[in-house]
Amino acid sequence: MTDRKKLIEVALPLEAINDASAREKSNPFWKDHPRRIHVWWARRPHVTCRAVIFASLVDDPDDEDAPKAYVNACKKLPLGSNSRISDTPRQRLFDFMTKLVDWKKSNNESILETANRLINLSNESVPTIMDPFAGGGTIPLEVIRLGLNTIASDLNPVAVTINRALVEIPKKFFNKNPVNKGNISGNKDLVHWKGTMGLADDIRFYANEVQRISAEELEFLYPKGPNDETVFTWIWARTVKCPNPACGATMPLVTTFWLSRKKGKKVWLEPIVDKNKKTINFEVRQGKGKPRKAPKLGRGSAFKCLVCGEDAHADYIKNESLFQRMNKTLLAIVTEGNRKKNYYSATEEHVNIAEKISPIWKPTQPMN
């Protein structure tokens, strides 16, 4: 029995791997990237993991003890920038890896089949790759991509869910027809659904069904905004009663009056203060100009009353919250306009619905 060295123990096309990794990092939201499923803060570059897994499983083709069939397969790989300078099996393999780590070729069947064949030629029996702390699923996904088996898990249930969605379920329904009756993709004439096309069709169908049913049941809770536009954000602020006994106005705990700072699309809140009635309302302003200074004081949790100027310190605000005297006020609503966000002042209709509707159940255990 010979002790053959794997490619990763000898050399790697590091420049190609680093360049591919940098391109993947600089395009974090490619439409087909796993980040689009769920952002995982410690996700490793997929192309780097793919290269490491592959290089850990294939032999160094320049090793004299490497399997002949494997070496011959490497010799037949296409010429590239490395092998044109020095045409050896290893350099041909490096040129192949340059294609293998290209994210845009991640689903290229010819490249992936070649990688799988080279791995099988290097090993009498290909091991199952295990990852006990799979995180965002980078390693198990790349193992599956290379046509190998994997066992992966994690202590974090979010990570487990991501792995199930990214690796387990797609593999289970790979090359399977959809089960929904709607066939919303329009591919009614397909006899064989390739890859995850059938699963994707089911996901789209049932997601639309859930959205439709939810919209019908909850429509009365979500009135339209001005110009019959759909509201997708309600901007609220917490409030406390002014500590000044002579005032007692409702103080909004607002850290900034800016709603949008985009050039040419600046939007802010303008507080309308009535010192006689001791009330504060808010109007949405946009165009030239800027908002007044927010009532937030310093870096702590103290705020100034917009009516009388009295300071409400952090201890007072915390005490109001503990005794359940903290309230809320609707500042503005944001709607879906024509390929842009539209900001509007709050309306009584939206405030009334939010105040009248209460959940059927809510936690009763007191919090510290």
Report the SS3 class of residue 35.
Answer: helix
Q: How far is CA 190 from CA 63, 178, 193, 197, in A?
A: 48, 11, 6, 10
Average pLDDT over residues 346-366: 88
Give the pLDDT confidence of 207-216 residue by residue, as tens digits: 999 999 999 9
Q: What residues contact residue 308 under an 8 Å CB cut-off, 6+ apart?
A: 242, 244, 246, 247, 249, 275
Higher pLDDT, 136 or 192: 136
Q: Mean pLDDT score of the chain, rounded to an integer? A: 91
Give the pLDDT confidence of 166-188 residue by residue, as tens digits: 999 998 998 888 888 775 555 55
Q: What is the pLDDT of residue 1?
A: 45
Give the pLDDT confidence of 34-63 residue by residue, as tens digits: 888 888 888 889 999 999 999 999 999 999
pLDDT over 90 (residue 300): no
**pLDDT bucket at 152, cuts 50 / 70 / 90:** very high
CA 142, CA 106: separation in Å to the nearest integer? 9
**pLDDT bucket at 235, cuts 50 / 70 / 90:** very high
Higher pLDDT, 356 or 216: 216
Q: Where are the beta strands (DSSP E) in 135-228?
A: 150-152
Sheet harboring 327-336: ordered strands across?
A: 250-252, 231-241, 327-336, 341-345
Taking alpha carbons only, the member of 17, 19, 15, 13 closest to residue 94 is 13
Please, what sign has the CA dihedral across residues 163, 165, 170, 173? positive
Percent of the chain scored above 70 by pLDDT? 96
Report the SS3 class of residue 126.
Answer: coil
Q: What is the pLDDT of residue 181?
A: 78
pTM equals: 0.67
Give the pLDDT confidence of 258-285 residue by residue, as tens digits: 999 988 889 999 999 999 999 999 999 9
**pLDDT bucket at 288, cuts 50 / 70 / 90:** confident
Higher pLDDT, 192 or 229: 229
